[in-house]
Structure 1
Amino acid sequence: MLEVKNVTGGYVNIPVLKDISFQVADGELVGLIGLNGAGKSTTIKEIIGLLSPYQGQILIDGESLQSNPQNYRKKIGFIPETPSLYEELTLKEHLEVVAMAYDLDVEQALSRAQQLLELFRLDEKLDWFPVNFSKGMKQKVMIICAFMVNPTLLIVDEPFLGLDPVAIDDLIRLLEEEKAKGTSILMSTHVLDSAEKMCDRFVILHQGQVRAQGDLATLQAEFGRKEASLNELYLALTKEGEQA
């Protein structure tokens, strides 16, 4: 379980988040929704440890980054919006580095990754360097690296960018499988039609605060828009931003 408790934070002298709180339970997929600049990326950076909150607490399975940094980091699988690969390492070497970073047995980790490599049609490209990969292929590498470590918390930031329709369908099925295993999943995306179908609940950020959270019916009641789609609620939030 992920617990974000009364977190205020951001960058040095640039506060972004204002006393936000939400949870992602085991086996739950929660969508993190909001306009550009609402605080989604900052929230993710606070959770994975790239930023430290001014106030508040972030727990994964009851542990914080401060109380047990090694265990905390090992619990997280992260798929970033923009793939980040080492140009001098082959695909196989990337997988080996990730396994070592998580203190996993390299051979066992590579064995677990094999099914993912085959799924995303990268099993014959283990000796390729990133310069030979398309953007979509790089994104697939990031997906494989995140799933192969068997995280208890999976953070997915705009996962569908650059992926072809077949890969998107494969990723959606993988996320469903992770949910069934009990993995907590936090997904930030602007692909709201897919999010509405996939997510159990939503956290809507607006100007660094939690504007609303809950399932679609709860959000519809919060915005006073019965039977509105998630996309329609997002547009209503846009109008709020224009009026603010």
Structure 2
Amino acid sequence: MRPFAASAPELVTGKGAGVLPRHVAIIMDGNGRWAKQRHWPRFAGHKQGVEAVRRIARAARAMGIEALTLYAFSSENWRRPESEVSDLMGLLRLFIRNDLDEMVRDNVQLRVIGDYRRFAPDLVALIDTAVARTAVNTGPILVIALNYGAQAEIAAAARRLAERAQAGTLDPATIDEAMFEDELDTRDLPPLDLLIRTSGEVRLSNFLLWQAAYAELLFVDTLWPDFDADTLAAAVEIFGQRQRRFGGL
């Protein structure tokens, strides 16, 4: 089976050949379809999706990728059936409890973007503990997007700058792209280099809209539970063949 969608842009060999992306983000899509193909409940697909998270987080570390951001739960996912949302929260709890010691041991920094404080208090406390325990680590960064929506992130950043301007502590004329980026959830991360979406869908679904301005986009046919280290390596190889001009020649 082809690993990449026919809609993926034609490769261009140029200055970027062989370059490793510093920051990769993935829209993890296709858990439900993976389960449906096997006549299994959707929960089985989400459970296998968690296994893919483990697999890809380890593969990214082994490859030397500095930051990996995974879209785990969007602000729109609340529209799903309550039972499915509950299943997803349960899997998140298990992932943190089962994998936190490994992240600490492997010097991984766990970070969370999005308004995860809307979750149940025990889950919020679990996330806070995990982030605090890995905060002193100096190795690769694993970012989980939870209750995240890029439009809300951008609106919140604009609101904070407006409040400072209204208070007289900020001259609106000095606001530029760098200042705006300092208000985003990703302010301490490397610039986004490569954004991958699995399952053949070709849209960003309100994910890292500002950050993706000059990222390379890749749309993959592979359903997320089947995404593995070889698929990630193929994506990185394609990234290395892209010519990134950033508006220049």
Task: Please report the TM-score for the alignment, with normalisation by the length of structure 2.
Answer: 0.31
Greater length-normalized contact order (CA 8 Å, ≥ 6 residues apart): 2
Greater helix share, 1 or 2? Answer: 2
